Amino acid sequence: MDTTTRSPDRTAGGRYPTSVPTTSPSAGPATDQGAALSPVLDLVVPVYNEERGLERTVRTTRAFLDSFPYRTRLTIADNASTDATLSIARRLADELPDVQVLHLDAKGRGRALHTAWLGSDAAVLAYMDVDMSTDLSALAPLVAPLVSGHSQLAIGTRLARGSQVARGPKRELISRSYNLLLRGSLAVRFSDAQCGFKAIRADAARELLPLVADTGWFFDTELLVLAERAGLRIHEVPVDWVDDPDSRVDIVATAMADLRGIARLLRDLNAGRIPLQDVRAHLHLDPPPGSAVPGGADGGLLGQLLRFAVVGVASTAAYALLYLMLSAPLGGQTANVVALALTAVANTAANRAFTFGIRGRRRALVHQGQGLAVFALAWAITAGSLALLHTLVPTASHTLELAVLVAANLGATVLRFLLLRGWVFGARRGTPSATTSGSAAPVSCPAAPAVATASTEGVRPS
């Protein structure tokens, strides 16, 4: 089947609409026979200009899916390819059973998955990368807990024990650093956000996808974070994974987009703009432990350290900018005091909400008072370093002053963290445990028909 659709428009608030208009062949009113022929699993392969490897991937994957005990579908989601990808996909869909083509007029893996998954009639929705970096032997373990109702979402992971991964040190470092950043900034518990091998139950997808704003590579991370915050059970499967040397992913552009996505997601979660309580209600889930704190959680010492570091870097940058602006009119010492005072108030508020997960006005003034005491200590350290510099180098330039003050400020950060953690916010911290909600109902899995009497939605049945 070839389905051509326009990319779903996003609302003014950056969210997708709950329904995605598509155009597809209609087989008339639904019948019991049509319902029985609906696939249990719909595996989506997003593609963009993949004319060289598409046919091999589709034929190999379709043959592998034929071994499943229930009906499966393979969907090729073409993201506005400019080469022969679409024509190859259409030829394969005409030739092979239960292969369909979805064509979008705009790029973006997230856009393709959002459209394909919401338009599918399958009970379980999955996707894999076209390069087949992940061994297909992990597909059945990925899907099984969703079919049984044990979990609502499943991911392949390259970073768990049991995974067999072959890739260069550069990509290994980038992957581990990104997932460490997620653990520190968003307090996530899943181990691998970007492995291109995931599955989700259709009922969960219908609730979560309208809340996912990203249309590109950050789509996976955003989906997982929202699922975890909503209380969905996420199953992880160690995979065998081989790096694709022909990967055309722009690492720098993708990293910048991911950082912007993390910042946006943090802002939206902390502001309570994402209605995760509706997802829990519709899926009959209990809130995950620790979710009484709307925007975040403790995440343990490592999570606190990483989130404190993020706040500290932002505060240091703000301090440096303020000092440069004020040092000429006010002088070095006065500029230091003013810059530290302004950033101290913002730093305490940010660490209170972001690093240690404390909300509400209760004890807010007390915390600010204690934060100012910590600031006084930090000021003593930085002022002492500045005085020492002027003693040793009376004609020190503003640039040298700034370098010394930034170094002293960073040195005082360790002491500041210990005081904030053990004294200012120590009595109010909580540590949430892993997200494990109740199970869902198992999926009914009628066996794939040996002989089909009619086509369903234009797809050739097995």
Q: Are 45 and 61 a contacting pair, CB within 8 Å?
A: yes
Nearest CA-CA partner of 274 in 220, 307, 225: 225
φ/ψ of 86, rounded to 5, equals: -65, -40
Chain centroid to Cα 444, Å, comes to: 30
Query: Which residues fall within 8 angstroms of residue 322, CB to CB, at 6 or more apart?
Result: 335, 338, 339, 342, 343
Indicate if the alpha-carbon torsion angle 73, 74, 80, 84 is positive or negative.
negative
The tokens for 55 are: 């046919």
Contact assessment for residue 244 and residue 131, using Cβ atoms and an 8 Å cutoff: yes
CA distance 273 to 270: 8
- Beta strands 2-5 and 99-104, pairing class: parallel
- 236's enclosing H/E stretch is strand 234-238
CA distance 383 to 398: 15
- Token pair listed for 68: 């499943």
Is 250 labeled as catalytic in the residue annotation?
no
Reduced to 3 states (helix: H, G, I; strand: E, B; else coil), residue 153 is strand
Question: Which residue in the list 220, 258, 268, 298 is annotated as catalytic?
Answer: 220
Catalytic residue positions, numbered: 220
